[in-house]
């Protein structure tokens, strides 16, 4: 299998070396043709660290500004010759590949998108799979929260129960921190949607792929460690996640369903804001005035 890696960086100097160091063992069993670091105008030396990596077919692409995750993915993929590849594996720099973990994904990438079993640094499961967004799931999550909803059958969008991570299967979508994608699918679907600066761009791409007959496949034989977690504590990132989620739902389902979804999510975040949750206060502000996000996010 001929596979290229695209790693998106933005001030990632503290985590990028660990990611790059894990690649040789992670690529056992595949032909690793390229490692492209697409950098969103880092000012901490991330591109220099990438260029210093030994033993990797490394290239650094300067995006030119902090244009977002999708824009960096597009810039990285544009540097590749998709005709000579089987798959492109997109990674966050805070991911660590386990030995031989690329091959199981590359072997399933012909389906469209293949995603791994994701763990936290302590080895515990990091829930990464998602169900289809719906009004019903939004309502349940507004009342009891997304994590709790995910623990009750299929009521929540987030898949949380460990038993659901045992067997390889099709899923609606998954976190974009680690996605191995068919080169043929990428050529057919074209670029990722850059209107999402961060969050929901992977949702949009998985759902767009499904619209064209491709699927997102979960492969537990591939294991990856992901540090992550900033959106849970950073109010601006938490608010951006919610705003983009609402915007994508409206785009795909139309104004009526989109408005209902917006009102449900707003009610849930407003209730949590009244209870004193700082991230929910920011979510409410941005839902009511989405333009506020551009004043709070890094340039």
Residue 213 CA to residue 239 CA, distance in Å, equals 32
Residue 224 CA to residue 177 CA, distance in Å, equals 10
Indicate the domain borders of the chain: 2-228, 232-296
Q: Which residues lie across from 215 on neighbouring strands?
A: 112
Residue 141 CA to residue 135 CA, distance in Å, equals 10
Q: What is the pLDDT, as a whole number, of residue 270? A: 96
For the stretch 67-116, pLDDT in tens is 999 999 999 999 999 999 999 999 999 999 999 999 999 999 999 999 99
Q: What is the pLDDT, as a whole number, of residue 290? A: 74
Q: What is the pLDDT, as a whole number, of residue 47? A: 94
Residue 223 CA to residue 191 CA, distance in Å, equals 27
Q: What is the pLDDT, as a whole number, of residue 229? A: 60
Residue with tokens 């209870």: 275
Class assignment of domain 2-228? alpha beta
Residue with tokens 């994608």: 181
Q: What is the pLDDT, as a whole number, of residue 187? A: 97
Torsion angle (degrees, nearest 10) of CA 22, 27, 29, 34: -160
Q: What is the pLDDT, as a whole number, of residue 233? A: 58
Kindly report the pTM of this predicted structure.
0.93
For the chain, which residues score pLDDT lower than 70? 229-233, 292-299
């Amino acid at each position: 299998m001929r596979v290229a890696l695209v790693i998106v960086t933005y001030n990632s100097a503290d985590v990028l070396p660990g990611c790059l160091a894990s690649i040789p063992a992670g690529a056992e069993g595949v032909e690793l043709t390229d490692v492209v670091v697409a950098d969103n105008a880092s000012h901490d030396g991330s591109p220099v660290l990438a260029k210093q990596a030994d033993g990797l077919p490394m290239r650094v692409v300067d995006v030119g500004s902090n244009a977002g995750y999708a824009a960096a993915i597009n810039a990285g993929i544009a540097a590749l010759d998709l005709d000579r590849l089987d798959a492109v594996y997109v990674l966050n720099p805070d991911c660590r590949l386990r030995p031989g973990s690329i091959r199981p994904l590359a072997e399933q990438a012909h389906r469209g998108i293949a995603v791994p079993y994701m763990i936290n640094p302590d080895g515990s499961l990091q829930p990464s799979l998602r169900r289809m967004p719906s009004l019903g799931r939004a309502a349940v999550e507004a009342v009891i929260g997304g994590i709790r909803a995910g623990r009750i059958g299929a009521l929540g969008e987030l898949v949380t129960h460990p038993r659901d991570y045992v067997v390889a299967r099709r899923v609606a979508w998954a976190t974009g921190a680690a996605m191995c994608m068919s080169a043929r699918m990428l050529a057919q679907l074209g670029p990722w949607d850059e209107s999402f600066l961060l969050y929901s761009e992977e949702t949009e791409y998985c759902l767009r792929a499904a619209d064209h007959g491709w699927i997102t496949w979960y492969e537990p034989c591939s294991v990856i460690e992901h540090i992550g977690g900033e959106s849970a504590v950073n109010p601006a990132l938490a608010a951006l996640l919610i705003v983009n989620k609402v915007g994508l739902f409206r785009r795909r389902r139309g104004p009526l369903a989109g408005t209902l979804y917006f009102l449900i999510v707003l009610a849930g975040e407003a209730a949590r804001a009244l209870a004193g949750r700082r991230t929910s206060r920011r979510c409410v502000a941005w839902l009511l005035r989405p333009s506020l996000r551009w004043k709070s996010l890094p340039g």
